[in-house]
Amino acid sequence: MTMEETRETQNQKETARLLIIEDEIPIADLLQYGLSREGFQVVCAHTAGAAISLAGSFLPQVILLDWMLPDMDGLELCRILSAEYNAPLIMLTARSDMEDKLKGLEAGADDYITKPFDMREVAMRIRAVLRRFEKAGQNGGWTEGASFSVSESEHLVMQKGRLVELTPKEFDLLTYLLKHPRQVHSRRILLEQVWGYDFAGDTRTVDIHIQRLRKKLSLDGHLLTVFGLGYKYVP
- What distances in angstroms separate CA 160 from CA 146, 148, 151, 200, one per listed residue? 12, 7, 15, 36
Size of the site for Ca ion (CB under 5 A): 3
Nearer to Ca ion, 31 or 42 (CB): 31
Q: Residue 184's closest CA among 214, 223, 229, 221? A: 229
Q: Alpha helix (H) ranges present in the chain?
A: 3-15, 25-37, 48-58, 74-84, 98-106, 119-139, 168-179, 187-190, 204-217
Interacting span for Ca ion (CB under 5 A) from 32-40, 43-51, 60-68, 106-114:
60-68
| 38 binds Ca ion, rule: CB under 5 A | no
Query: What angle do the packed helices 119-139 and 168-179 form, to 10 degrees?
Result: 40
| 207 binds Ca ion, rule: CB under 5 A | no
In the complex, minimum distance from the CB of residue 81 to Ca ion, in angstroms, rounded to a whole number: 16
In the complex, minimum distance from the CB of residue 67 to Ca ion, in angstroms, rounded to a whole number: 7
126, 64 contact by CB (below 8 A): yes
User: Which residue of the chain is nearest Ca ion when measured via CB?
Assistant: 68
| 66 binds Ca ion, rule: CB under 5 A | yes
In the complex, minimum distance from the CB of residue 49 to Ca ion, in angstroms, rounded to a whole number: 14
Q: For strand 89-93 and strand 62-66, is the pairing parallel, antiparallel, or unpaired? A: parallel
| 170 binds Ca ion, rule: CB under 5 A | no
Burial of 45 (0-12, 13-18, 19+ CB in 10 A): buried
Q: Map residues 14-33 to x or -, x wherever contact with Ca ion holds by CB under 5 A.
A: ---------x----------
In the complex, minimum distance from the CB of residue 66 to Ca ion, in angstroms, rounded to a whole number: 4
In the complex, minimum distance from the CB of residue 50 to Ca ion, in angstroms, rounded to a whole number: 14
Which residues of this chain interact with Ca ion, rule CB under 5 A? Answer: 23, 66, 68
